[in-house]
């Protein structure tokens, strides 16, 4: 059983593949890039899955994410050079942080369950927290 397409010296039939379509790079609009980058931060899909879904390489998506972090990716049709994003900052009143003890400035855990709110501020021993959570579970 011979195959003439694999015989380099045979003068028989040869296979030729013709590729049709655009032979250049695709152009992505800034809006499309921004939408895909925002979708990548949602955490619903991995970067590889999201890239595959949009027909791009994960490296390209990581590049777009980097551009967005650096402020070089245009968003909402803005020019990339003028695209600036501001995030609102909410700060305590001056001096308020100084009045709180240092333990209160550390982590805060807030649990809302069955109409109750349990707030735990500062450093709490694990056994005390377990006891509070058990009480919340019993009440619910």
Phi-psi region of 69 (alpha: psi -120 to 50; beta: other; left: phi over 0): alpha
* Tokens 């019993």 belong to residue: 138
pLDDT per position as a tens digit, 41-68 = 888 889 999 999 998 999 999 999 999 8
List the structure tokens of 68: 């967005």
Please list, in sequence order, all residues whose beta carbon lies within 8 angstroms of the beta carbon of residue 121, skipping any fewer than 6 positions away: 103, 104, 106, 107, 108
Cβ-contact 104, 127 below 8 angstroms: no
Q: pLDDT value at position 22?
A: 57
> How far apart are the C-alpha atoms of 42 and 39, rounded to whole Å?
5
3-state secondary structure of 82: coil
Query: CB count, 10 Å around CB of 67?
Result: 17
pLDDT per position as a tens digit, 89-127 = 777 666 655 555 555 456 777 777 767 777 777 777 888
Give me the chain's average pLDDT, please. 74
The model carries a pTM of: 0.40
> How far apart are the C-alpha atoms of 126 and 109, rounded to whole Å?
13
Please list, in sequence order, all residues whose beta carbon lies within 8 angstroms of the beta carbon of residue 123, skipping any fewer than 6 positions away: 103, 106
């Amino acid at each position: 059983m011979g195959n003439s397409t694999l015989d380099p010296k045979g003068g028989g039939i040869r296979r030729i593949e013709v590729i049709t379509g655009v032979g250049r790079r695709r152009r992505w609009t800034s809006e499309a890039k921004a939408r895909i980058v925002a979708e990548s931060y949602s955490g619903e899909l991995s970067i590889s899955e999201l890239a595959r879904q949009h027909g791009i390489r994960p490296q390209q998506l990581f590049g777009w994410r980097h551009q967005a972090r650096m402020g070089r990716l245009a968003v909402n049709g803005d020019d990339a050079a003028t695209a600036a994003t501001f995030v609102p900052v909410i700060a305590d009143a001056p001096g308020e942080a100084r009045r709180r003890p240092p333990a209160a400035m550390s982590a805060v855990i807030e649990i809302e369950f069955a109409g109750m709110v349990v707030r735990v501020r500062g450093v709490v021993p694990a056994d005390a927290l377990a006891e509070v959570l058990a009480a919340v579970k019993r009440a619910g």
